[in-house]
Structure 1
Amino acid sequence: MATLADVARLAGVSPATVSRIINGSSKPVAEALRERVLAAVEELQYVPNAHAQLLARSHRSTIGVIVHDVSDPYFAEITRGLQRVATENGRLVIICNSYRNPDRELEYVELLRAHQVAAIILAGSGYHDDAFTAKMNGKLRVYQATGGRTVVIGRHDHVGDAVVPDNEKGGYLLGAELYALGHRRFGVIAGPEQMTTTTDRLAGLRRGAREHGLRLPARRIAYGDFDRASGMTAAAALLDAEPKLTAIAALNDSMAIGALALLRSRGITVPDEVSVVGFDDMPIASDVTPTLTTIRLPLADMGARAVTLALQPAEGDDAPRIVQVGAELIRRESAGPARR
């Protein structure tokens, strides 16, 4: 690869002059000299060293994003939104997959700090783990003290700005819809028990049950991993335990699609015999058969808002900025009146 010194020799100038032109220094440079240097860069196909540029500039150009798994449609949509805004602002995005491993998230924060990223965005549910939360907050505070910015999406009790989807309300709307359709015996496919998102969505379902003078018994809740395979497994367990269930509420769309596949394999029609509802409104929710009744969260917009917060300095007392994001019920074909 060509070096800065190679460009300087070809252009007949000093390496310092080449550096000023390439790095956008505010010091004035004659236009003819600038054109000569840029022509040498083009001829040699010189690519500046990003780390060297970072040392030469006070401007940080990279945003680090930690997600559970970018192949999950939930995080793919969030990432799509945040990359759009980052690209519009000339920022590079580094995406790290933690696979719901808290220790790995802590390691990624350290690595991103070492790369001097402009901001760190933590996307996805937090954990019911006070020790982890305290340790993560300690690392984020150190990072913020060096000028970095932090934003969390869908997490509780972390330092920095936050984009907070109303998961509790979404769970409540899901339950209210099933009760309105006459369902009194329905099963729930929840996410991992240690995730705060699971707790929030279940809390909404339980609030809806209380308003109808009912309760959501533990035996009608099966826990999955927010993926299709665990949705199938959980749906089978619920139906085997209580064959008279009239509906299944899955707390994300991937698990709902797994439930649809399990019902189809058993010859159970949806929604005539069993209704199925999901959560998040993934793009595929309107393509499956039957189309999926679900709770819509504006996932791409959540990612976009997180980057916007990261790039806009706070005003006033620097108190954390909280952006609340609403949940909306989307009615489609998979939910119908409870069978008699």
Structure 2
Amino acid sequence: MPQQRARLRLIDVAERAGVSIAAASRALSGSAGVSDAIAERVREVAAQMGYVANVHARTLAGGASTSVGLLVHEIGDPYFTEIASGVLRVGAQQGLTVQICHTGRDPENELVQVRTLIANRVRAIIIAGSGFVDARTQASVKQDLQAFQETGGRVAVIGRHHLGTDAVLPDNTAGGRSITEHVLSLGHRQIAFVAGPRTLTTVADRLAGAAQALEAAGLSIEDIPVIEEAFTREGGTQAMQRVLDDHPDVTAVIALNDDMAIGVLAALRARGMAVPKDISVAGFDDVAVAEHLSPALTTVRLPMAEMGEQALLLALKQPSARPRRRTTTHSLVVRDSTAPPPRPKR
């Protein structure tokens, strides 16, 4: 339980690891005098017991922590690059350095990175990107973050998570509804969605908004192809190839992030299909490159850099009795990649 971890003493870790208090202290502080094997065992035991957060608390008490950690799913995705720019901007204003870690949307790797940041004694941790629909997926991360917060650390997330922390919540559901309404308003009814895994809350929320728009138009998302691949550019290409092979009558594709939309455009170019003459394409996020694509991408704009700023500012505030929420706005950005469906050939 969290309260038990908060009362842990160095002697508890030493006894569990089977070493002396002195050896445990040297292992956790990184001092010389213990073998690598013993040091690793002590650190593993400390992390399992939550004692690493107590080490962090002493660092904060001494005023020595001038760094924060940022976890992103994919640093090569422009969505996370723009969020990181906001975090870095606030960090620079506050005299803090930012350690950026890459999780690859792997819950196990996320846990490893969280523990690494705690061991590095950061002041705060920002987790950017989608949570998981199944709360159990992040149960271990939640446990470690609770211990981290109990001893002075601060946490904020961007996206819908089940971590019980301060959060900046992108307007995903309303955005999914807006982009789908736009495509429907052009006259499209043969629509396909190119999506990441539905186990991600971001995907689930954007599809929920799309389902609302479809229902209002007398359609059901159950009858619409939703092609799931990796939530990346390569995933977008693979998903679009499946759409073209399995659903040749589709006249519009909505990708649930811009990175996938870029992959969709690449797949269409490879098949010699013109956008939007032959098929319309829409994205989500409005990353910086979206307006410079050929054709320029119709998409949903989220204030990504501002989201990063708000997340770090939340994390640097004094803790509150209940987790705080900051919701974003969104806007529909119509560019050249969407148009009415092509006329049927006679």
TM-score range, shorter chain: 0.7 to 0.9
How far off its partner does 1:54 sit?
4.8
- 8 Å CA contact 1:150, 1:159 repeated in 2: no
How far off its partner does 1:256 sit?
0.9
Equivalent-residue separation in structure 1 for 2:280 and 2:116 (angstroms): 46
1:332 aligns with 2:339: no
How far off its partner does 1:87 sit?
0.7
- 8 Å CA contact 2:60, 2:123 repeated in 1: no
**Correspondent of 1:162 among 142, 160, 167:** 167
In structure 2, the partner of 1:280 is: 285
Q: SS of the residue aligned with 1:63?
A: strand
Percent identical residues = 43
In structure 2, the partner of 1:37 is: none
Equivalent-residue separation in structure 1 for 2:305 and 2:60 (angstroms): 33
Q: SS of the residue aligned with 1:217?
A: helix
Equivalent-residue separation in structure 2 for 1:123 and 1:218 (angstroms): 32
1:84 aligns with 2:86: no
How far off its partner does 1:132 sit?
2.6
In structure 2, the partner of 1:117 is: 122
Residues 218, 125 of structure 1: CA spacing in aligned structure 2 closer, same or farther, 3 A cutoff? Answer: farther
In structure 2, the partner of 1:180 is: 185
1:323 aligns with 2:341: no
In structure 2, the partner of 1:30 is: none
- 8 Å CA contact 1:140, 1:159 repeated in 2: no
In structure 1, the partner of 2:195 is: 190
Which piece of structure 1 moves more, 245-254 or 154-163?
154-163
Give the letter for the 1:298 counterpart.
Answer: P
1:231 aligns with 2:202: no
How far off its partner does 1:130 sit?
2.7
1:71-106 Cα offsets, whole Å, 9 max, x none, are 211111100110000011000111111111111111
Aligned residues: 287
In structure 1, the partner of 2:155 is: 150
- 8 Å CA contact 1:286, 1:292 repeated in 2: yes
Q: SS of the residue aligned with 1:136?
A: helix
Task: Identify unmatched segments of 5+ residues in structure 1.
Answer: 1-50
**Correspondent of 1:299 among 289, 304, 308:** 304
TM norm structure 2: 0.79
Q: SS of the residue aligned with 1:318?
A: coil
- 8 Å CA contact 1:144, 1:150 repeated in 2: yes
**Correspondent of 2:133 among 111, 115, 128:** 128
Give the letter for the 1:96 counterpart.
Answer: C
1:311 aligns with 2:316: yes
How far off its partner does 1:57 sit?
2.6
Q: SS of the residue aligned with 2:183?
A: helix
Equivalent-residue separation in structure 1 for 2:222 and 2:245 (angstroms): 16
Equivalent-residue separation in structure 1 for 2:134 and 2:221 (angstroms): 25
How far off its partner does 1:66 sit?
1.2
Give the letter for the 2:290 counterpart.
Answer: A
- 8 Å CA contact 2:190, 2:251 repeated in 1: yes
1:19-75 Cα offsets, whole Å, 9 max, x none, are xxxxxxxxxxxxxxxxxxxxxxxxxxxxxxxx9x95883352110111112121111
Equivalent-residue separation in structure 2 for 1:238 and 1:218 (angstroms): 14
**Correspondent of 2:71 among 66, 71, 78:** 66
1:93 aligns with 2:98: yes
Residues 157, 55 of structure 1: CA spacing in aligned structure 2 closer, same or farther, 3 A cutoff? Answer: closer
**Aligned CA-pair RMSD:** 1.8
In structure 2, the partner of 1:203 is: 208
**Correspondent of 1:251 among 234, 256, 266:** 256
Equivalent-residue separation in structure 2 for 1:312 and 1:55 (angstroms): 15
**Correspondent of 1:139 among 140, 144, 156:** 144
How far off its partner does 1:310 sit?
1.2
Equivalent-residue separation in structure 2 for 1:293 and 1:132 (angstroms): 33
Give the letter for the 1:327 counterpart.
Answer: H
- 8 Å CA contact 2:69, 2:100 repeated in 1: yes
1:229-276 Cα offsets, whole Å, 9 max, x none, are 221221121122121111010011111111112222222211122100
Give the letter for the 1:328 counterpart.
Answer: S
How far off its partner does 1:157 sit?
2.0
- 8 Å CA contact 1:221, 1:238 repeated in 2: no
Which piece of structure 1 moves more, 57-66 or 157-166?
57-66
Give the letter for the 1:99 counterpart.
Answer: G
TM norm structure 1: 0.80
How far off its partner does 1:218 sit?
5.7
In structure 2, the partner of 1:47 is: none
Give the letter for the 1:94 counterpart.
Answer: Q
Q: SS of the residue aligned with 2:221?
A: coil
